C-alpha cells in the first residue's frame, strides 16, 4: 500500500514482516520466484459502499451488488472487479460492505509485476486487513496514514463498515477536519459509539488531540509493520486469473518439455552406448571369425572330400544297388527299362510300358521304395507311342 515514505510491502512471503520499498518496480524485483504475492489497496483506490439487500444467499448477493455498483459507477461490469464482505445477517436481509476497483487502474499499478510474471494472487483493501486484527472490538475507530491522506475507518467486530479519507497528513489539519468526518459517518448510518480507538504507532504524538475528540474512549497505538491478516475480499480481476492459469499451463508444459528432453537425451546416450558396445562386439566376432577361418576352411575341404567319396562308401548310392532297386520296383514283366544313367547327383530312368497307368505305377513304386528314399523323384506325363505303349522318363536327384 502507498505510505508516506513509499510502498509498504507485507506478506510477499507468508510470515514475512512488512518493510518499506520506494517503487513498485523495486517491489517486483524483490519478490522471489514462486512466492505468494498479496496486494493491499488504499482507500483512495477503491469505492466502498455499504448496502442492505433482501437476500442472504451469496450468489444472489453477488449479482445484486454488481447491479447496484453499475448504477453508481461510470463503468461496465467487465471494466471493474467487485466483491463484498457481509457485516450482519438479519432474518432475510443482509448488511454488507461492497467494494469495487477499476481493472484499468489495477493493470497500471501492477504492470511491473506483470512484466515479471508475478501478478498478485490476492488483491484486498488494507483497511479490511487492519479491521480483521480486532475481532473482539464492538465498534472500533482506526486512524492511520495512506500516502498523502489520513484515514478514519470504522470496524464492527473485525468487519470494516466505513472509511473516510482526509487529504492531509498534518495533525492540526486532520484534527480540524475530524468532527466533520465523524458527523458524515453518523449521517450515513455508521455507528460512532466507539468502544476503542486504534491509532497508527507513528502518530503517537496525535494521541492527546485525538483523546479530546474521542472523549472517554480507550486508545491504543497500532503497529503497522507486522504481518497482515488475509483479506475477506479478493479483488483479483478475472483476466488475471486466466493469465495466471495460462502461465501455469505454460510452466507445466515447459517442465514436461524439459523432462522429455532429458528422457530423450538419456535414450540418445543409451543408444550411443549400445551402438558402441555393438561395434565392439562385432569387432570381437570379426576377430573370432578371422581366427576360425582356417579351421572352417579345413572342415569344408574335408566335407567336400567326404561328399566326393560318399558314392563309393554309401551302398545305397552304388550303381549296381540302384539298378537292382530299379528292377525290383518294376510292377510287370511287360514294362521295360531302356535307359539308365547314373551320376553322383542322381540318376535317370527311361523305358516303355504297355499302358500309361503302368508307367505311373512304376513311378510311384520308385518313390515309395525305402532304399531310394534319399532321392527326390520327378517325371513328366508318359508319352503315348504309335503302338499305344507309353514312353516314360524319370529323374531322381539327391
pLDDT of residue 296: 86
Least confident window among 25-39, 209-223, 277-291: 25-39
The per-residue pLDDT for range 88-130, each reduced to its tens digit, is: 888 888 889 999 888 888 888 888 888 888 888 889 989 999 9
**Quick one: cell of 285?**
566376432
The per-residue pLDDT for range 383-395, each reduced to its tens digit, is: 999 989 999 999 9
pLDDT of residue 267: 93
pLDDT of residue 121: 86
User: Please, what is the Cα angle at 342 between 341 and 344, to 5 degrees?
Assistant: 150
Gyration radius (Cα) of the chain, Å: 53
3-state secondary structure the chain: CEECCEEEECCCCCCCCCEEECCHHHHHHHCCCCCCCEEEECHHHCEEEEEEECCCCHHHHHHHHHHHHHHHCCCCHHHEEEEEEEEEEECCEEEEEEEEEEHHHHHHHCHHHHHCCCCCCEEEEHHHHHHHCCCCCCCEEEEEEECCEEEEEEEECCEEEEEEEECCCCHHHHHHHHHHHHHHHHHCCCCCCCCEEEEEHHHHHHHHHHHHHCCCCCEEEECCCCCCCCCCCCCCCHHHHHHHHHHHHHHHHHHHHHHHHHHHHHHHHHHHHHHHHHHHHHHHHHHHHHHHHHHHHHHHHHHHHHHHHHHHHCHHHCHHHHHHHHHHCCCCCCCEEEEEEEECCEEEEEEEECCHHHHHHHHHHHHHCHHHCCCEEEECCCEECCCCCEEEEEEEEC
Is the pLDDT confidence value at 19 over 80?
Answer: no
- For 180, other C-beta atoms within 10 Å of its C-beta total 11
Mean pLDDT of 276-305: 88
Cα–Cα distance for residue pair 146/245, rounded to 1 Å: 32
CB 100 within 8 A of CB 130: no
pLDDT of residue 71: 81
User: Please, what is the Cα angle at 123 between 119 and 125, to 5 degrees?
Assistant: 150
The per-residue pLDDT for range 131-170, each reduced to its tens digit, is: 988 888 899 999 999 988 999 999 999 899 999 999 999 9
Superfamily of domain 316-397: General secretion pathway protein M, EpsM (3.30.1360.100)
pLDDT of residue 10: 43
Residue ranges covered by each domain of the chain: 2-236, 239-306, 316-397
Q: For the chain, what percent of residues have pLDDT higher than 70?
A: 91
Is the pLDDT confidence value at 291 over 70?
Answer: yes
Is the pLDDT confidence value at 8 over 50?
Answer: no
**Topology, domain 2-236:** Nucleotidyltransferase; domain 5 (3.30.420)
Is the pLDDT confidence value at 1 over 50?
Answer: no
The per-residue pLDDT for range 338-356, each reduced to its tens digit, is: 999 988 888 999 999 999 9
**Quick one: cell of 100?**
469495487
pLDDT confidence tier of residue 6, bands split at 50, 70 and 90: very low
Mean pLDDT of 376-381: 90
The per-residue pLDDT for range 225-235, each reduced to its tens digit, is: 777 777 788 88
Q: What is the pTM of this model?
A: 0.59
pLDDT of residue 205: 92
Is the pLDDT confidence value at 17 over 60?
Answer: no
Q: For the chain, what percent of residues have pLDDT higher than 90?
A: 35
Amino acid at each position: 500500500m502507498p505510505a508516506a515514505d513509499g510502498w509498504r510491502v507485507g506478506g510477499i512471503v507468508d510470515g514475512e514482516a512488512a518493510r518499506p520499498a520506494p517503487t513498485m518496480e523495486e517491489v517486483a524485483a524483490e519478490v522471489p520466484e514462486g512466492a505468494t504475492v498479496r496486494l493491499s489497496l488504499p482507500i483512495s483506490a477503491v469505492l466502498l459502499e455499504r448496502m442492505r439487500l433482501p437476500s442472504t444467499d451469496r450468489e444472489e448477493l453477488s449479482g445484486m451488488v454488481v447491479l447496484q455498483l453499475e448504477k453508481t459507477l461510470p463503468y461496465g461490469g467487465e471494466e471493474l472487479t467487485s466483491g463484498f464482505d457481509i457485516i450482519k445477517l438479519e432474518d432475510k436481509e443482509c448488511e454488507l460492505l461492497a467494494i469495487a476497483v477499476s481493472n484499468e487502474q489495477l493493470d497500471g499499478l501492477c504492470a511491473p509485476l506483470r512484466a515479471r510474471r508475478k501478478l498478485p494472487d490476492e488483491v484486498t483493501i488494507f483497511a479490511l486487513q487492519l479491521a480483521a486484527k480486532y475481532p473482539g472490538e464492538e465498534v472500533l475507530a482506526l486512524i492511520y496514514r495512506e500516502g498523502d491522506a489520513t484515514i478514519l475507518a470504522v470496524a464492527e467486530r473485525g468487519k470494516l463498515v466505513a472509511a473516510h479519507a482526509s487529504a492531509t497528513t498534518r495533525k492540526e489539519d486532520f484534527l480540524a477536519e475530524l468532527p466533520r468526518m465523524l458527523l458524515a459517518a453518523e449521517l450515513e448510518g455508521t455507528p460512532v459509539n466507539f468502544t476503542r480507538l486504534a491509532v497508527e504507532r507513528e502518530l503517537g504524538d496525535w494521541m492527546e488531540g485525538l483523546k479530546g475528540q474521542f472523549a472517554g474512549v480507550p486508545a491504543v497505538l497500532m503497529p503497522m509493520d507486522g504481518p497482515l491478516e488475509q483479506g475477506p475480499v479478493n479483488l483479483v480481476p478475472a483476466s488475471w486469473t486466466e493469465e495466471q492459469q495460462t502461465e501455469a499451463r505454460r510452466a507445466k508444459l515447459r517442465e514436461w518439455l524439459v523432462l522429455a528432453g532429458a528422457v530423450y537425451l538419456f535414450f540418445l546416450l543409451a543408444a550411443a552406448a549400445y551402438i558402441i558396445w555393438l561395434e565392439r562386439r562385432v569387432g570381437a566376432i570379426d576377430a573370432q571369425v578371422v581366427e576360425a577361418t582356417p579351421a572352417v576352411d579345413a572342415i569344408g575341404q574335408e566335407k567336400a572330400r567326404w561328399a566326393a567319396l560318399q558314392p563309393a562308401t554309401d551302398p545305397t548310392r552304388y550303381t549296381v544297388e540302384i539298378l537292382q532297386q530299379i528292377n525290383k520296383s518294376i510292377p510287370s514283366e511287360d514294362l521295360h527299362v531302356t535307359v539308365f544313367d547314373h551320376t553322383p547327383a542322381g540318376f535317370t530312368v527311361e523305358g516303355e510300358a504297355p499302358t500309361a497307368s503302368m508307367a505311373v505305377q512304376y513311378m510311384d513304386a520308385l518313390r515309395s521304395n525305402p532304399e531310394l528314399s534319399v532321392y527326390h523323384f520327378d517325371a513328366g506325363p508318359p508319352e503315348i507311342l504309335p503302338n499305344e505303349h507309353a514312353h516314360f522318363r524319370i529323374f531322381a536327384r539327391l
